[in-house]
Amino acid sequence: MEKINATITGVGGYIPDYILNNDELSRMVDTTDEWIMSRVGIKERHILQEEGLGTSYMARKAVKQLLQKTGTDPLDVEALIVATTTPDYKVPSTSSIVIGRTGMTNAYAIDLQAACCGFLFAMDQAACMIQSGRYKKVIVCCAEKMSSIVDYTDRSTCALFGDGAAAVLVEPTTEEVGWTDSILRTDGLGLPFLCVKAGGSVCPPSHYSIDRRMNYLHQEGRTVFKYAVTYMSDVSAQIAERNGLNNETLNWVLPHQANIRIIEAVANRLEIPMEKVLVNIQRYGNTSAATLPLALWDFEKQLKKGDSIILTAFGAGFTYGAALLKWDYNAK
């Protein structure tokens, strides 16, 4: 029996229309375009402003585009995994709402929370499902309304994040392409340094928590930066080494789009020139779980069948990992 590989056969995306650029941000908090660009490399970010719309709205936009681009009947999709840190509600799942709005009623739906590593973790789950032989069509969708948990009075974090969504279709193939290898880890050390302190079962919403802005994202930037550089660089190097990849044989590196200095550090560790690194942080900022699939969507036409891509990410938890993806198609 031929080996079944799990491969990405299409990608869809959605970015909100409203753009919050650094100049406008500098009128909200004490910051400047020069300061933001020099430290994180972000010029602008997209924000979902419309009242009453949440993460599922962007997710279903991305999924609908994916279905249309790949010519996939919604009823043929067997599973939907939505990776998000900003669900519409505590209950029900965001993925169940997406199912209801896209007509994929033969699929089961689950939410996955791995912060900025959501795409890597969800893709590994989808790949296992496909490789088992039990599933033929699985959609992984990463969607984030980060603006809903960002404190726009906190100059240290409000410049970093944006909203967006992207989705990929994962299918079986017997060709030597697809989700080839991965190293995924969680160290359990990250709670004090990157979290939303209130709103969960430990500290339910209250006047106390809201008055103290505990329902917004808290980040100790220097500590997070240090861990991100170390972990992303280490696992990327491990993936490259055990797959025999170097500057000559590796086509692309796709790091989580959190900070241009982290991206450059990963490239430096792999001894890969920046021309081979996929970067769109300047336009979208950090969209958490959505950064990696949004970049695949953005750069789809540059990717060629057989290209070797190392993806790497780091997020709250701390979660981190790297994966080798061999691209499956040439975009039309």
Active site residues: 116, 256, 286
| Short-list 192, 105, 174, 181, CA closest to 133 | 174
Determine the 3-state secondary structure of 321 from DSSP: strand
Query: CA-CA distance, 291 to 143, in Å (whole number)?
Result: 9
List residues bridging with 166 in a β-sheet.
Answer: 13, 142
Instruction: List, in order, residues 6 or more apart from 272 with CB less than 8 Å away.
Output: 247, 250, 253
Q: Do the beta carbons of residue 321 and residue 313 sit within 8 Å?
A: yes
DSSP H helix total and E strand total for the chain: 10, 13
Q: Which amino acid is at 277?
A: V
Residue 293 sits at the vertex; the CA angle it makes with 34 and 88, to the nearest 5 degrees, is 90
Which tokens in the block code for residue 301? 């036409």
SS3 of the chain: helix, strand, coil, percent, to 5: 35, 25, 40
